[in-house]
Structure 1
Amino acid sequence: MSIYDVLGQEHGIRAAVDEFYRRVLGDPALAGYFEGVDMARLRQHQAALLVQVTGGPKAYEGRDLAQAHRSLGITSADFDRVVGHLAATLTSLGVDDETLGTVAAALGAHRDDIVADPVPSGS
């Protein structure tokens, strides 16, 4: 069974995306990243991306992750907060630990595309 199926296919993924953004937008440390963002559009893109990366039938047609996040200045700590909110969302939806690990590994593979931590001085 694919992760797409475990998550309840497209309907389940859309529900997960809605819950995920409810958590993220309620987090004062993260909410500022979304000021002025068309959240309906972002939810649609996020759901399409998750459908694709979890083994679903649709192809994601949005910007690549590096391009989409380049100007946001996302820190490692905030990336970890977002991953934590996603893990909590998936756990609340009954996703098992093995699937959570797979999703976390997939996100971790894109960390360098998303995080814009400044290079420490003297490096």
Structure 2
Amino acid sequence: MSLYERLGQEVGIRTAVDDFYARVVSDPQLAHFFEGIDLPRLRRHQTALLVQVTGGPVDYSGRSLAEGHAGLGITPADFDRVVGHLVDTLTALGVPAEDIGEVGAALTAHRDDIVTAAEPVR
């Protein structure tokens, strides 16, 4: 069984994406990244991307992760907060730890495409 199937296919992935974005846009340290963003469109693109990368039947045709995150100034800490929200979402939905690890590994493989800024010096 593919990860796509284990996550509940497109319906399960869409549910996870909706919960995930509710969490990140409510996070005061991440909310500014989503100001002025068409969230319904972003959710559709994210769902399609996740369906494809988890073995589902959708061919994602949106921008690459590097293009989509270019110029946003995402730091390693921002990335880690987002991953934390994703883990919390999947945990709340009852996804087994092994599958959460597989999703996390897929996301971490693209860390360099998403993180575009160094941590601020304090």
What band does the TM-score fall into relative to the shorter chain?
Answer: over 0.9
Q: Which runs of 5 or more residues in structure 2 are unaligned?
A: none
Q: TM-score, normalising length from structure 2?
A: 0.95
Runs of 4+ with >3 A deviation:
none
Contact kept in structure 1, 2:77 and 2:119, CA below 8 Å: no
Specify the alignment match of 1:111 in structure 2.
111
Q: 1:16 to 1:119 in 2, by over 3 A?
A: closer
Letter in 2 for 1:109: A
% identity of equivalent residues? 67
Q: TM-score, normalising length from structure 1?
A: 0.94
Specify the alignment match of 2:32 in structure 1.
32
- C-alpha RMSD of matched pairs (Å): 1.3
Q: Could you report, residue by residue, the CA deviation over 1:44-103 in whole angstroms, capped at 9, with x for unpaired residues?
A: 000000000111001110000001101100010000000000011011111111111111
Specify the alignment match of 1:50 in structure 2.
50
The number of aligned residues is: 120
Q: 1:18 to 1:119 in 2, by over 3 A?
A: closer
CA distance in 2, matches of 1:79, 1:88: 14
